[in-house]
Amino acid sequence: MTATSDNVAWLTQDAYNHLKDELEHLMGPARSEIAKRIEAARAEGDLSENGGYHAAKEEQGKQEARIHQLQQLLQRARVGETPPDDGVVEPGMIVEIKFAGDDEIERFLLGSRELLQLDDSVDLEVYSTQSPLGAALHGQAAGSTVTYEAPNGREVTVEIVSAKPYTG
């Protein structure tokens, strides 16, 4: 599967390295550990009433799902530098907008939720470049006003207040 602009996951080099390390750990030591736990629980006998066995099998399922998720994400990842601080909205930017008729500023990250997994202290919404809002803002400069069609079919107008690189 090649990464097209429609399914690209934009990641910094640090985020990519972190996720790759997580995948290697899950596929190696973590997989071996869960297999040992399942085998030990299996050796205890009757599996129908063996809580340890069922818990280990459930954990194994979650682990395999995460492995699959990481493989898919890394396969479609586009690794890039931190975007320039030029006020132009692109993946990896913290964007501040105001909806027409509202003075409240909304703040979010344009890019991949995986960028934020590296820093639990960051509490931001994340919009992908494929979302209606993300697609409308991508490539626009701070100070611009953009109108896009929301999923409910309504036209929504926003003003871009600022766009700054996310530095983690």
DSSP character string of 133-154: HHHHHTTPBTT-EEEEE-TTS-
Would you state the pLDDT for residue 117? Answer: 55
**Structure-block tokens of residue 123:** 């509490």
Give the range of the structural domain holding residue 127, as residue numbers without chain letter: 83-165
- What would the mean pLDDT of 109-134 be, rounded to a whole number? 74
Would you state the pLDDT for residue 120? Answer: 53
Identify whether residues 69 and 100 lie together within a single domain.
no
CATH code of 19's domain: 1.10.287.180
Return phi, psi of residue 113, to 5°.
-55, -25
pTM of the model: 0.60
How many Cβ atoms are within 10 Å of 92's Cβ, its own excluded? 21
Residue predicted with more confidence, 144 or 12:
144
Closest alpha carbon to 72 in 5, 7, 129, 6: 7
Angstrom distance (rounded) from CA 36 to CA 43: 11
Identify whether residues 47 and 88 lie together within a single domain.
no
Residue 2 lies in a domain: no
Identify whether residues 147 and 88 lie together within a single domain.
yes
Would you state the pLDDT for residue 5? Answer: 44
Return phi, psi of residue 108, to 5°.
-155, 165
Would you state the pLDDT for residue 2? Answer: 36
Longest pairwise C-alpha distance within the chain? 68
Identify whether residues 66 and 106 lie together within a single domain.
no
pLDDT tens for 12-36 read: 777 788 889 999 999 999 999 999 9
pLDDT tens for 52-96 read: 888 899 999 999 999 998 998 888 887 777 777 898 998 888 999
